[in-house]
């Protein structure tokens, strides 16, 4: 095969395959397009797949109920493959080519900061549905996930009351771990406790032996972990192998987000405390009905409906509620409607938009790992995003557009 014919045939193949990837051609003219940008392959797909599944379910449910404003919805799904350049490209395509009424997506804080300016520039409404470190202040953006003032603020006092005042923090070495560990420190000190040490680990560290000995030497009453990703699972393994999970208890802001409680054995992680907005074990009629629909659509053997997946489902519902209230798809009208205080009764309880910060007021629960399940021990009603509202007021400064780094 000579070069010319190779180029020709391979570009034809490329065009063919990308045409099947992009669902544009099939779209009817009057369908409302909803953009969905979640990692379905690459290192983050464990987080992204349940989110995309919830997107699909939410859109299908709304269409079955007659759509929005009398029109059907069409999901335009993109897979950025855990690659930041693709995030920028797909955000642009969503905004300009698909003219999406809203774009939902982004998982890591890095990916959010890639697509947020792109969507702002092209005037496409953006929903970020992931738990994160807080502080985003942008009128075009709604952050429906929980922030440290909602989860860490409850988890730390609960754990300290149960276990003691001397805390040792281990965290992932990037902005999430750095900022979250500062919040942990703040809440520990507010409770009259002390932080023995905060140790950061690059995401590829797998040998925790020295740290574990250091922790033993420091003799803390409890550990707080903000470790992230596959390599860091090694910490919990080695922690248990040294027999310490029986001696020093552990609370975490990230554990179970990637289904760690299913990967590890019950002997290794039973008794860990975590705190999120949603747990699939929540015993409410809405959650039961939701799980029934979810399992019917995606199979009863679905390992775990994650916090991030529920964030996505509820984020979409909030947007749909906003559109109904506005009676229009016009971006500014929808924002104004959402800012008037829209709320839904989601599977995790009542979720409402906080007009000043574009974050959410929602329920937060603390759960304990028991035999590969997360059993809820306490639920706190209607927690406000106090960290972000301390620095951000979009009612007063609608043109504000930045992420505040909160000093704890």
Partner 1 sequence: MDLAVVVLIQVLYAVAGLVIVSAGLAVIFGMMKVINLAHGEFMMLGAYATLGAHQLGLNLWLAMLVVAPLAVGAVGVLLERLVVRRLYGRMVDTMLATWGLSLLLVGIVTSVMGNTTAGVSAPLGSFAVGAYSVSGYTLVIIAVAVVLALTIRWVLLRTPWGLIARGTMQKPEMANALGIHPGRVYATTFAVGAALSGLAGGLLAPLTGVVPTMGGAFVAKAFITVIGGGPAILAGLVGASSLFGAINQLATFLTTPVLGEVALLLAAIVMLRLLPQGITGRFFKGSL
371 binds partner 1 (CB under 8 A): no
Residue with Cβ nearer partner 1 (258 or 385): 258
Q: Which of 28, 217, 283, 399 binds partner 1 (CB under 8 A)?
A: 217
243 binds partner 1 (CB under 8 A): yes
CB of 227 to partner 1, least distance (A): 11
Q: Residue 69: helix, strand or coil by DSSP? A: coil
264 binds partner 1 (CB under 8 A): yes
Residue with Cβ nearer partner 1 (257 or 347): 257
Phi, psi at residue 111, to the nearest 5°?
Answer: -70, -35
Q: Which of 60, 61, 199, 270 binds partner 1 (CB under 8 A)?
A: 199
Phi, psi at residue 37, to the nearest 5°?
Answer: -120, 95
Residues that bind partner 1 (rule: CB under 8 A) add up to a total of 43
341 binds partner 1 (CB under 8 A): no
| Helix locations, 105-252, DSSP H | 109-121, 148-163, 175-190, 209-218, 233-241
Q: Which of 23, 42, 117, 355 binds partner 1 (CB under 8 A)?
A: 42
What one-character-per-residue DSSP string does 367-404 give?
EEEETTEEEEEEEEEEE--HHHHTT--TTT-TT-EEE-
242 binds partner 1 (CB under 8 A): yes
218 binds partner 1 (CB under 8 A): no
Rounded alpha-carbon distances, angstroms, from residue 333 to 121, 324, 340: 18, 11, 11
Tell me the C-alpha distance between 101 and 87, whole Å: 18
Within positions 128 to 187, which residues make up the interface with partner 1, using CB under 8 A?
173
407 binds partner 1 (CB under 8 A): no
DSSP state of 270: T
238 binds partner 1 (CB under 8 A): yes
Tell me the C-alpha distance between 166 and 154, whole Å: 17
Tell me the C-alpha distance between 67 and 48, whole Å: 25
271 binds partner 1 (CB under 8 A): no
Q: Residue 72: helix, strand or coil by DSSP? A: coil
Where do contacts with partner 1 occur on this chain (CB under 8 A)?
41-43, 45-46, 173, 199-202, 204-211, 213-214, 216-217, 230-234, 237-238, 240-244, 247, 258-260, 263-265, 267-268
């Amino acid at each position: 095969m000579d070069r010319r014919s190779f180029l020709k045939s391979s570009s034809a193949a490329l065009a063919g395959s990308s045409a099947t990837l992009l669902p544009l051609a099939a779209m009817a003219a009057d369908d409302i397009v909803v953009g969905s940008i979640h990692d379905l392959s690459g290192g983050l797909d464990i987080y992204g797949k349940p989110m995309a599944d919830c997107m699909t379910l939410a859109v299908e449910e709304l269409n079955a109920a007659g759509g929005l404003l009398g029109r059907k919805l069409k999901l335009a799904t993109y897979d950025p493959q855990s690659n930041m350049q693709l995030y920028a490209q797909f955000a642009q395509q969503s905004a300009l080519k698909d003219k999406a009424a809203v774009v939902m997506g982004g998982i890591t804080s890095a990916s959010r900061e890639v697509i947020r300016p792109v969507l702002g520039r092209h005037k496409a409404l953006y929903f970020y549905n992931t738990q994160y470190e807080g502080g985003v202040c942008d009128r075009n953006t709604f952050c429906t996930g929980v922030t440290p003032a909602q989860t860490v603020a409850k988890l730390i006092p609960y754990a300290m009351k149960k276990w003691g005042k001397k805390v040792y923090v281990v965290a992932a070495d990037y902005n999430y771990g750095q900022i979250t560990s500062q919040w942990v420190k703040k809440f520990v000190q507010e409770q009259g406790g002390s932080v023995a040490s905060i140790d950061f680990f690059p995401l590829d560290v797998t040998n925790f032996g020295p740290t574990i000995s250091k922790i033993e030497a420091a003799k803390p009453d409890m550990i707080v972990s903000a470790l992230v990703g596959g390599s860091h699972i090694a910490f919990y393994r080695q922690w248990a192998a040294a027999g310490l999970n029986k001696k020093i208890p552990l609370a975490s802001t990230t554990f179970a987000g990637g289904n760690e409680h299913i990967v590890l054995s019950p002997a290794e992680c039973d008794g860990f405390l975590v705190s999120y907005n949603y747990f699939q074990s929540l015993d409410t009629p809405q959650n039961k009905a939701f799980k029934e629909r979810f399992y019917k659509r995606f199979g009863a053997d679905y390992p775990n409906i994650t916090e991030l997946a529920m964030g996505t489902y509820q984020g979409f519902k909030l947007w749909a509620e906003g559109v109904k209230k506005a009676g229009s798809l016009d971006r500014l009208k929808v924002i104004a409607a959402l800012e008037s205080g829209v709320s839904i009764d989601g599977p995790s309880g009542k979720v409402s938009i906080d007009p000043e910060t574009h974050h959410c007021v929602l329920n937060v629960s603390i759960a304990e790992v028991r035999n590969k399940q997360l059993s809820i021990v306490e639920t706190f009603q209607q927690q406000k995003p106090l960290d972000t509202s301390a620095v951000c007021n979009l009612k007063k400064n609608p043109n504000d557009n930045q992420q505040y780094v909160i000093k704890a």
